[in-house]
Amino acid sequence: MSHTHSSTYDSDEYYVAGASRLSPAFDGLLRILDRWRTRVVVRRTGLKTGKVLDVGAGDGRVLHFMRQLGFEVHGTTVSQKSANAARALFGLSLDVSDSLEEVLATGPFDLVTYWHVYEHLEVPCRHTARWTELVRPGGFIVIEVPNTRSVGARLCRDAWLGSDDKHHVNPQAAEPLLGVLHATGFVVVRTRQFAVKYSYAYLWSALLGRLFGGRYDFDGILRILKAPLNMARARPWWTFNALASIGYLAPAVLTLMLYGLMTNQGEVLRVYASRRSADH
């Protein structure tokens, strides 16, 4: 990441254990979803092998899954804590830096990914200016961000987990992001506005805010996902309602999810873009 505050990402406020933001109970599910997402990206890009760079790689799990599929993997992080976790969990060595200078020497790459990282960049042009050096002609860049024009964001942005104003300093809608990719020499080949990992949680949080008082304690929802037992002891009825609502709000969440997809207002924006060759 470029010009983010590494102290924030190393703090207990951001990471719980290892390099996860969530409790082990939730994190196990996310590992399954990340494995599935990795396979989807490989299928959508048509890549069989090659070099992959994951910018803001967290604990390195996506790179671990890519390596299992036969790719040569590289990653960056601004957090020493996440770098230590990647080494301990998967034997990965991440570049601990807020710039792309070191990884440029190992490029160009067949695939560069930004999984909910681009919205954290305080000076995104310091990344976008290097994309043509990072990605080989015909290679891909895949970016996924919370969609600031989604149903959930419009329903109750103050409770919507995709907002996270404290950390998301570069929020994104489709048009600006697609414009940046076009201006830097990429052709957008596919967009997607649904992610199993995020869409349900984003709509659930927005509905909680809408139904129970506007903001519905955004930080409290995150603390439930990080340490549900601690929150149950500290605020039992509030925590019980929030967790129970995952189920009883399901019909409304699923309806809104379908509506968002039909109206192009899904909760996330995932963009697949291919770098134009020099003769185009």
Query: For 196-207, how does the pLDDT look when each residue is reduced to its tens digit (9 = 90+)?
Result: 889 999 999 899
Domains plus CATH for the chain?
6-148+161-197+265-275 (3.40.50.150)
What is the reported pLDDT for 2? 43
Quickly list H helices, 123-172: 125-128, 131-134, 151-156
Q: Give the alpha-carbon dihedral of 207, 267, 258, 193, to 10 degrees.
A: 180
What is the reported pLDDT for 16? 42
Listed in sequence order, the residues at least 6 apart from 206 whose beta carbon sits closer than 8 Å to its beta carbon are: 151, 152, 153, 155, 156, 157, 159, 160, 161
Among 10-24, 166-180, 212-226, the minimum mean pLDDT is found in 10-24
Among 56-60, 110-114, 181-185, the minimum mean pLDDT is found in 56-60
Mean pLDDT of the chain: 86
Overall average pLDDT of the 163-177 stretch: 83
- CA max distance for the chain: 63
Task: Assess whether pLDDT exceeds 50 at residue 236.
Answer: yes
Overall average pLDDT of the 184-198 stretch: 92
Return the higher-pLDDT residue of 18 and 115: 115
Return the higher-pLDDT residue of 31 and 1: 31
Q: Give the alpha-carbon dihedral of 71, 77, 79, 85, to 10 degrees.
A: 0
Overall average pLDDT of the 85-94 stretch: 91
Task: Assess whether pLDDT exceeds 80 at residue 80.
Answer: yes
Q: Element (H or E) spanning 6, and its range?
A: helix 6-10
What is the reported pLDDT for 13? 45
Q: Which two tokens stand for residue 155?
A: 């329903």
For the stretch 132-165, pLDDT in tens is 999 999 999 999 999 999 999 999 998 898 988 7
What is the reported pLDDT for 215? 65
Overall average pLDDT of the 198-219 stretch: 83
Highest mean pLDDT pick, 5-14, 199-208, 213-222: 199-208
